[in-house]
Amino acid sequence: MAGNLSPKLPWDLAAPKWASTLNPVIGNPLLGGNILSNVVLASGNNTINHGLGRKLQGYIVILNSANVTFYDGQSTNQKPDLTLILHASGATTVSLYVF
């Protein structure tokens, strides 16, 4: 080959595309979550420390030991960067994925 010209390798072609491909995945709030295991809930409002160090964006009930329903009180929570307020229709033990 003449001069400093070299053929483009697949690696050279892929590198510029990484940011546009990986940034949406890395920025997904689900990836920065915590699993809270064996959280005992009473009937009514329960305040749970989520441990995220930032405002809670959402939660998923991943285990539940009783037939109860849930809704959150985040719209009136005075400390959304520290806690999740979860209303349960009855007593249960749950595991939560908070993000």
Q: Which residues pair with 62 in a beta bridge?
A: none
52 in a structural domain: yes
- Predicted confidence at residue 44, as pLDDT, reads 98
- Predicted confidence at residue 5, as pLDDT, reads 62
pTM: 0.74
59 in a structural domain: yes
51 in a structural domain: yes
User: CA angle, corner 26, sides to 28 and 95, nearest 5?
Assistant: 50
Give the C-alpha separation, 76 to 52, whole Å: 19
21 in a structural domain: no
Instruction: Tell me how many domains the chain contains.
Output: 1
- Predicted confidence at residue 31, as pLDDT, reads 85
Question: Averaged in consecutive runs of 10 residues, what is the pLDDT profile of the chain (99 residues)?
Answer: 61 73 81 94 98 94 97 96 98 98
